[in-house]
Chains A and B, each alone.
Chain A
Amino acid sequence: MHELIDYIQSYLDPRVTTTPGAAGNIFWATVYILLVFGGLSVAVIAMNWLERKILAHMQVRLGPMRVGPHGLLQPIADAIKLLLKEDIIPAEADAFIFWIAPFMVVLAAFTVFVVVPFGPTHAITDMNIGILFMLGVSSLSVLGIVMAGWASNSHYPLIGALRSSAQMVSYEVAMGLAVLSVILLTSLHGVDLGLYGIGANNPQAYGTLSMIGIVQAQQEQGVWFIFKFFPLGLIGFFIFAIAMVAETNRAPFDLPEAESELTAGFHTEYSGFRWSLFFLAEYSAMIAVSSIAVTLWLGGWLRPFPNALNGPTWDLVFSLIPGMSFLLLAAMCFYNVARMPKHPLFKIQTMGLAGFGAVLGLIGVVMFIPAVRDRVNDVFWFAAKVAGFMYLYIWYRGTFPRYRFDQLMKVGWKILLPLGLALLILTAAMGMRTELWNQFQEVVHGL
């Protein structure tokens, strides 16, 4: 028993600066996995509500208003409805593949979070091949989509699956090129990261694929990679930001589930719980690719303006922001409690909203405690950046009309791919500019 407690506490030692996976601590790795899984599920539920609400406001509607104050409980009602629905497997379907396809998609979407770095120590584990692992595992989700579309043995799902496999394979190329340019950038300042980083004997010469290593490289170089070699980093980010929308089958690239043409695309024949698994996978895949973008270009867990607003005072100010933002949310809740209709029918809703506000306020107050503050700061900044991307996704959906399939292929192969190749070459040239200049001078001297 004593040993067990020691084992659990050994990871809490402030000298431990690695992830539980790297430290080999199974207990904390399990805790982190549960935390990430729970957080992700809550995020997906919140996204469900936010998407309907924000989209409604963009189209000058109200959106869900009935279940709970401002429809806050709508996702829970939806979830209960989906779980209670009849689970239909079409008679002509390939039952086994039909059954296994949604699990495949969910597995791929959730497994990638093993390497997502919410902070220098706040990741389940760090791998030497982190970004490669994320791209590889998320590319497996297309297999699940193809399986679902084929196993349904129906026309719309099959066409949806064909479209989605063509789309994902095409945009993966552009995405990979954009990621490669960032991996080139990590080698510029050689970071010595010990065991899970890079070659210790000559740190100057090597880059890294590790997700934590990529953020640490941005920290060492003192610049987020979106601003590196302006505008090269920005172009890389731009390519990735387009390709990631296509990879997750979201508007304006949502041809695999274009409802006006294909009913619901590859998941037309799915119902109830199995359909909700596809839903879950789609949203967690959106969060996963957004966290790749945040890690690679937006400095991961690093706070904004580390150069312009540095020093202990600014550090303190920025470390107070997480608690302040929760207090702001709580204040908004209480403001709406005051605005609630004073009718007996709204009594329970008002009390519920006040309770929700109190919980948010409590979380905000807890976040001001210095020990907690230091530990959640990185997670907060990471989550805030990812949340920005989530808003962008909804914004795209509310703004852009859907692409035609030939336009989609044209954007992928004729615009993003050449742009990505040019970007890769230019980034390499910029990284080697002193060497190239010296060579050039030697050649000129030789003449």
Chain B
Amino acid sequence: MNPVATPFFFYLLAGTMIVGGILVITRKNAVHSALALITTLLAQAALYLMLYAPFVAGVQIILYAGGIMVLFLFVIMLISIERAAKERQFNKQWLVGIVAAAALGGLFITIYTTTTKGKELFPEGRMTYGESQNTQQIAALLFDRGAGQYMFAFEIASLLLLVAIIGAVVMAKKRI
């Protein structure tokens, strides 16, 4: 079976992501921005699939596209579009924005030019075996007695989320 992870799909997905990302910041209507963001996130999930990480792709779809973005839309839907369209942008931070974007772009270009010196953009040898057991491998990396290295980091991240949940409840509720 030929691998599906061809450069064509990479460029297609990357192009979708970039177009979606640009639409997120250029649309005046917040709901359109959110939908463009969903497109970007779905294309990103497909990129994970191309990297033979189906579990990460599935989690990306469930959490971001199906969970977080629904809650985003939930809030955005209640904004009056007419008023939002008339409102002027009040934070003028384009200078900081340009500097930050240029720095990030410079970083990407540097990494790209140094790591691909004298090499092909898409390496010939692809990892093709991991796909069938990606979920199990991630589980082993997290929880396995011998190979599990990231248990502590994982638990710390869970604790952080728990603190965020409790904080949100405390802030939203007047009387507990």
Contact = CB atoms under 8 A, between A and B. Distances in A.
Interface of A: 24, 94, 97, 127-129, 132-133, 135-137, 139-140, 142-143, 146-147, 149-150, 158, 161-162, 165-166, 168-169, 172, 195-199, 206, 209
B54 interface: yes
A142 to B, nearest CB: 6
Interface stretch (B56-64, B86-94, B95-103, B166-174): B56-64
B77 interface: yes
Contacts of B142: none
B74 A128 contact: no
Query: Among the interface residues A128, A149, A168, A197, which one has the most CB atoms of the partner chain B within 10 A?
Result: A128
A132 B66 contact: no
A129 B89 CA distance: 44
A162 to B, nearest CB: 7
Given A97-B31, A132-B62, A169-B67, A146 B73 contact: yes
Given A127-B54, A129-B55, A169-B71, A136 B133 contact: no
Interface of B: 1, 29, 31-32, 35, 38, 54-55, 57-59, 61-62, 65-67, 69-71, 73-74, 77-78, 131-136, 139
Given A129-B58, A136-B66, A206-B136, A146 B131 contact: no
A143 B58 contact: no
A196 B133 CA distance: 8
A129 B54 CA distance: 7
Contacts of A24: 1
Contact of B70 (A135, A137, A165, A206): A165
Given A24-B1, A140-B66, A150-B31, 6 more contacts: A129-B58, A139-B61, A139-B67, A146-B70, A147-B73, A195-B132
Contacts of A150: 31, 73, 77
B53 to A, nearest CB: 10
B77 A158 contact: yes
Nearest to B130: A128
Contacts of A197: 132
A155 to B, nearest CB: 12
B126 to A, nearest CB: 16
Contact of A136 (B38, B58, B139): B58
Contacts of B139: 206
A97 B65 CA distance: 17
Contacts of A94: 29, 31
A127 to B, nearest CB: 7
Given A129-B54, A158-B77, A135 B135 contact: no
B132 to A, nearest CB: 5
Contacts of B1: 24
Contacts of B61: 136-137, 139-140
Contacts of A128: 54-55, 131-135
B70 A169 contact: yes
A133 B58 contact: yes
A147 B35 contact: yes
B77 A162 contact: yes
A409 B164 CA distance: 21
A208 B124 CA distance: 31
Contacts of A168: 70
Nearest to B61: A136
B77 A143 contact: no
7 contacts: A94-B31, A97-B35, A136-B61, A143-B38, A165-B73, A198-B133, A199-B133
Nearest to B29: A94
Contacts of A142: 66, 70
A435 to B, nearest CB: 12
A246 to B, nearest CB: 15
Given A129-B54, A146-B73, A165-B74, A139 B135 contact: no
Contacts of B38: 143
Given A97-B31, A196-B132, A172 B55 contact: no
A161 B77 contact: yes
Contacts of B74: 146, 162, 165-166
Contacts of A162: 74, 77-78
A133 B59 CA distance: 9
A143 B133 contact: no
Contacts of B78: 162
Contacts of B134: 128-129
Query: Among the interface residues B1, B31, B136, which one has the most CB atoms of the partner chain A within 10 A?
Result: B136
A68 B31 CA distance: 47
A129 B139 CA distance: 13
Nearest to A168: B70
A306 to B, nearest CB: 28
Contacts of B65: 136, 139-140, 143
A150 B55 CA distance: 32
B135 A209 contact: yes
A169 B73 CA distance: 12
A196 B74 CA distance: 38
A146 B136 contact: no
A174 to B, nearest CB: 14
B42 to A, nearest CB: 8
B59 A132 contact: yes
B62 A135 contact: yes
Contacts of A137: 61
Contacts of A158: 77
A128 to B, nearest CB: 6
A140 B67 CA distance: 9
B48 to A, nearest CB: 11
A20 to B, nearest CB: 12
A218 B102 CA distance: 56
Contacts of A195: 132
